[in-house]
Amino acid sequence: MAADFVYGRIPVLECLKAQKRAARRLILLEGGKNQNEFISAAQDIPVEWVTRKELDYMTHEGVHQGIVLEADPIPLLNLETWLEDSSNPQSLIVILDSVEDPHNFGAITRSAAACGVSALIFAKDRAAPVSPVSMKSAAGAMEYVDLIQVTNLPRALDVLKKHDYWVAGLDPEGEKILWDADFTGKTGLVIGNEGKGIRPLVRKKCDYLVHIPISGPISSLNASVSAAIALMECVRQQHL
């Protein structure tokens, strides 16, 4: 089976804590500092010490901070199976439509985890994959949010609607202001591509579109920033 190389202090520690997937070996920098916390968290997992050059090679020159964890790949779930599992909390789901930047993918996942999002749906094609870069940007959050990969995003929205979800698209031209929309029920929040936004076919599947009002000279926000703002409004309505 293929393996993921998770790197960086926070992503590695969260992966060990969450125990969402099997860890195979902890790889540390020879002579590195502050390693005891990771060795303790690894428990019975084999620990190896290697040179910085070897760590750089494993991570493709990533910012590994002297710590790498070889682990099983993050499980990618089936939407229908996930929805049928009554043990899953299902009040809020994030749907990524062609988000291509792995840093945005990771940052959105981090915000989703902080807001208690149940799952994150993304397409198999024309989208940033789960990768060491997106995992690093997520700062361990991918260990706590269920990741659902689909082949047809519009069809996935139809499935959500059959399970009583309202699907809201975040769009600068949305007819509703974000905080005027009702997110108190089961909600699927669609975040579009960094440049083109939500695709027309996906847009048609949304029950409504919402926008974040902007009063300054800059007319748009980064996709991950927009997602964080919208998710906090969902949380405010559902829990606060």
Q: Are 4-71 and 76-239 equal in CATH topology? A: no
76-239 maps to which CATH number?
Answer: 3.40.1280.10
Q: Starting at the edge strand that comes first in sequence, how are the strands of the sheet with 208-211 ordered?
A: 76-77, 146-150, 119-123, 92-96, 187-191, 166-170, 208-211, 176-177
Instruction: Please return the burial class of 116, using the count of CB atoms within 10 Å of its CB with bins 0-12, 13-18 and 19+.
Output: middle
pLDDT of residue 90: 77
CATH superfamily for 4-71 is Ribosomal protein L30/S12 (3.30.1330.30)
The helix (run of H) or strand (run of E) holding residue 7 is strand 4-7
Tokens of residue 27, six digits:
């790889």
* pTM of structure: 0.93
Strands of 154-239 (E only): list them: 166-170, 176-177, 187-191, 208-211
Nearest of 157, 166, 79, 63 to residue 119 by alpha carbon: 79
Number of other CB atoms surrounding residue 149 within 10 Å: 17
- Ramachandran angles phi, psi of 98, nearest 5°: 60, 35
Query: What pLDDT, on a 0 to 100 scale, did the predictor assign at position 216?
Result: 87
pLDDT score for 240: 75
Whether residue 90 contacts residue 118, with contact meaning beta carbons closer than 8 Å, is answered with: yes
Residue 130: the pLDDT is 96
pLDDT tens profile 160-219: 999 999 999 999 999 999 999 999 999 999 999 999 999 999 999 999 999 999 988 888
Angle at 64 between CA 63 and CA 69, to 5 degrees: 145
Q: Work out the pLDDT band at 117, boundaries 50, 70, 90.
A: very high
Residue 225 scores a pLDDT above 80:
yes
Q: Is the pLDDT of residue 87 over 80?
A: no
